[in-house]
Amino acid sequence: MIKTILQLVITLPLVLFSQIDTTRALSFYPLHIGDEWHWRSGGIHSITGDTLIEGRHYYLKHGTQAVRIDRLELNVYEWNPYIEIDEIILDLSATEPGAEFGDRWFFLDESESWVFDTLRSVRTYENSWAPLYDAEYQYASGIGLIRTHETRHNADDTVYRLSGAIIDGVVFGTLVGTLPEEVVKPEKMNIHIYPNPTNMDGVITFSTPGAGKYQIAVYALDGSIAGHARVYSNQRGIQQFYLNSIEWTQALDSGIYIINVKGDSFRQTTRFAFIK
């Protein structure tokens, strides 16, 4: 009996400490239906609903992006529907500066800063998914993403700052607008490569719903990422991009590949045959 009591006394503080750490880590990436993040640029990100995928619970961002948190690993995952795998996009448990996770993701540091009139812990991450592109992301406890700093080769840096947020029904900062009634989608959800089969001279053609940033990713059939690129569109409509403009992470052999174009509110995908 005495031995059992001693074990409980020793174990209880450890359990409580673990719970406090978990709660604190999760506060950097809040997920509640109805949460909104308002940006100074006028854009609004939101949690629009939830769903089940392969028995796991996901929250929907912008109506299309499915994300979840593994509360044991303290990792944030995004579901990639085209190759049907989870891709880690954030490690909330990282403590060592420079720790690497996922596809070229790094944890940089944690500090304290005033965010919406409250001193909060702020964690900084970096993503270097292409040789000529880097992005730094800052997450504040209780708020989530508050700042993005994008650096591109031979181009001006782009910085996005949070103006306000609604987290679990509580309003922070200044809200800049209202959400549209529905997610905007392009008139034609299609993407083409000409010619197909193709080589590095092939042209990717796709339609966009408006001005903005669009990410292109090429996957091998085994799920590995073969190349990345970003397209900056000044207007809606038909966009063209050349395969030889993609930042390739591996040499392409002859075979079948998957190409995915992703915007804030939609994705397009197709397969193409590459001839070396």
Mean pLDDT value across residues 19-28: 81
Query: What is the chain's mean pLDDT, rounded?
Result: 79
pLDDT for 188 equals: 44
pLDDT for 235 equals: 60
Whether the predicted pLDDT of 101 surpasses 90 = no
Mean pLDDT value across residues 106-130: 88
How many Å from the N-terminal Cα to the C-terminal Cα in the chain? 73
Reported confidence tier of residue 28, pLDDT bands at 50, 70, 90: very high
pLDDT for 269 equals: 76
pLDDT for 14 equals: 41
Q: Token pair for residue 252? A: 């392409």
At the topology level, CATH places domain 191-274 in: Immunoglobulin-like (2.60.40)
Distance CA 243, CA 228 (A): 10
Whether the predicted pLDDT of 181 surpasses 60 = no
Q: Which residue has the higher pLDDT, 239 or 6?
A: 239
Q: Token pair for residue 189? A: 């959800």
10-24, 70-84, 205-219: which has the highest mean pLDDT?
70-84
The model carries a pTM of 0.59
Distances in Å between the alpha carbon of 219 and those of 33, 224, 250, 274? 31, 6, 10, 12
**pLDDT (tens digit per residue) in 56-85:** 999 988 767 889 999 999 999 998 887 788
> Can you give the residue ranges of every domain in the chain?
10-173, 191-274
pLDDT for 185 equals: 42
Sorted by sequence, the CB contacts under 8 Å of residue 100 that are 6+ apart come out as 106
Reported confidence tier of residue 214, pLDDT bands at 50, 70, 90: confident
**pLDDT (tens digit per residue) in 241-269:** 788 888 888 888 888 888 888 776 667 77
